[in-house]
């Protein structure tokens, strides 16, 4: 299944789940708060009339009658107010129920639409991956496939670099919105070779370093133990000019074929370049001596490391940096120093911009 399809659906579903009825939440507060002092309506005037003061007694009587009428009117108004408030409260609860139902229907419809869109996306993704698989099989052919692969990878790198020039300039200026990059590990069926625990140490360092330094979400696609056996001496990689040309022969064909079969999902991205997953192959030996990883930049979508427990945890991060056009740096604290730092590596502003500018690093 396509990763982008899944991620897009998850994002939409997350938004769908935010569809809620936020109205009519205070129905219980609808009360009749008026006419609450009816019993206080009294005639408090003309209370000291002399027995002979007839007009005063008449006024007193009129006052009492008026007070009684006002008291009755107040109670009638109070009753009407309570009835009106009760009706309004009931109407509020009905509206609340209708709102909740409408919101739930809208949420379910939204999720269903996302599922339908994902299904369509998966179909397209499957077709593209199937086509890409055939292309990668062709690219696995020794010599001719290797030459085509080299040309294709460099052309796509340059094309997407040109397309992303403004993002590169923005990154240089310090404007670095969140991006993402996919990477996975392939382990050949040979012993001795690094353990999954040693590999995970490298993976964790990659995720943490690029997240904190470059604001890149490094999405790990998992460790794949391939059943494809390497050619003789195929897991001894020369990290020199000879190694570059080895990529055109059986060794490069092996890495390409193992990538196609072990990392099938979204393989079309490795063909078109944009968002191509970087595959970290675990090998037995990288030469010359004291070399524990290698990358030939944009020549291919894979790097190799030994992942020994004695190696720096940042070897994979270093090689991924090479895959994104970073060259070696003289600063011993820099990730790209020829001797990979054991802890707290750094990158310069230009290096960060170059990594974020890579075809492997995307927004979607």
Token look-up 């075809």 returns: 359
Using CA atoms, how far apart are residues 283 and 279, in angstroms rounded to an integer?
12
Domain boundaries, the chain: 3-116, 140-357
Identify the pLDDT of residue 171.
96
SS3 186: strand
Beta bridge partners of 185: 223, 280
pLDDT at 266: 87
The residue to which tokens 């408090």 are assigned: 44
Contact 19, 107 (CB under 8 A): yes
In whole angstroms, what is the distance from residue 197 CA to residue 307 CA?
10
Q: What is the dihedral of CA 41, 46, 49, 54, to 10 degrees?
A: -100
Query: What gap in Å lies between CA 311 and CA 330, rounded to an integer?
Result: 20
Q: How far apart, in whole angstroms, are the C-alpha atoms of residue 304 and residue 2?
A: 25
Note whether 125 and 6 are within 8 A (CB). no
Which distant-in-sequence residues (6+ apart) come within 8 Å of 146 by Cβ?
A: 139, 247, 248, 249, 252, 253, 256
- CATH number, span 140-357: 3.40.390.10
Task: Give the integer Cα–Cα distance in Å for 241 and 255.
Answer: 18
Strands 293-294 and 302-305: antiparallel
Phi, psi of 70 (to 5 degrees): -65, -40
Instruction: Specify the pLDDT at position 1.
Output: 54
Query: Considering the entire predicted model, what is its pTM?
Result: 0.80
CA gyration radius for the chain? 37
Quote the tokens at residue 5: 């399809």
Give average pLDDT by consecutive 10-residue segment, the chain, 364 residues: 83 93 89 87 86 85 91 92 92 94 95 94 92 94 94 95 96 96 95 91 98 97 94 90 89 94 91 95 93 92 95 97 96 96 96 97 93
CA separation for the pair 7, 89 (Å, rounded)? 43
User: How far apart are alpha carbons 311 and 318 in whole angstroms?
Assistant: 12
């Amino acid at each position: 299944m396509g990763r982008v399809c899944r991620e897009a659906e998850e994002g939409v579903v997350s938004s769908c789940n935010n569809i809620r009825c936020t109205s009519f939440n205070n129905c219980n507060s609808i009360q009749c708060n008026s006419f609450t002092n009816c019993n206080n309506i009294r005639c408090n005037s003309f209370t000291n009339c002399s027995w002979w003061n007839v007009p005063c007694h008449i006024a007193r009587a009129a006052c009492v009658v008026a007070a009684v009428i006002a008291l009755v009117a107040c109670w009638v108004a109070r009753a009407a107010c309570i009835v009106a408030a009760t009706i309004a409260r009931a109407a509020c609860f009905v509206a609340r129920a209708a709102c909740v139902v409408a919101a739930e229907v809208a949420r379910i419809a939204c999720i269903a639409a996302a599922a339908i869109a994902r299904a369509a996306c998966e179909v397209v993704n499957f077709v593209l991956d199937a086509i890409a698989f055939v292309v990668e099989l062709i690219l696995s052919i020794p010599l001719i496939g290797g030459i085509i692969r080299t040309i294709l990878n460099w052309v796509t790198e340059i094309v997407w670099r040109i397309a992303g020039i403004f993002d590169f300039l923005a990154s240089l200026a310090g404007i670095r919105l969140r991006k993402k990059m996919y990477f996975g590990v392939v382990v050949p069926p040979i012993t001795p070779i690094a353990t999954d625990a040693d590999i995970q140490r490298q993976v964790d360092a990659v995720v943490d370093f690029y997240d904190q330094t470059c604001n890149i979400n490094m999405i790990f696609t998992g460790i794949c133990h391939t059943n494809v056996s390497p050619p003789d001496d195929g897991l001894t990689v020369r990290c020199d000019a000879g190694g570059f040309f080895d990529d055109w022969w059986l060794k490069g064909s092996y890495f390409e074929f193992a990538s196609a079969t072990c990392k099938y999902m979204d393989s079309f991205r490795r063909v078109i370049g944009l968002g191509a997953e970087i595959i970290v192959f675990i090998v037995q030996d990288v030469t010359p001596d004291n070399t524990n990883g290698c990358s030939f930049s944009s020549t291919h979508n894979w790097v190799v490391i030994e992942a020994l427990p004695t190696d720096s945890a940042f070897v994979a991060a270093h090689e991924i940096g090479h895959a994104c056009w970073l060259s070696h740096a003289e600063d011993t604290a820099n990730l790209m120093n020829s001797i990979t730092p054991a802890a707290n590596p750094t990158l310069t502003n230009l290096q960060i911009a170059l990594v974020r500018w890579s075809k492997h690093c995307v927004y979607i």
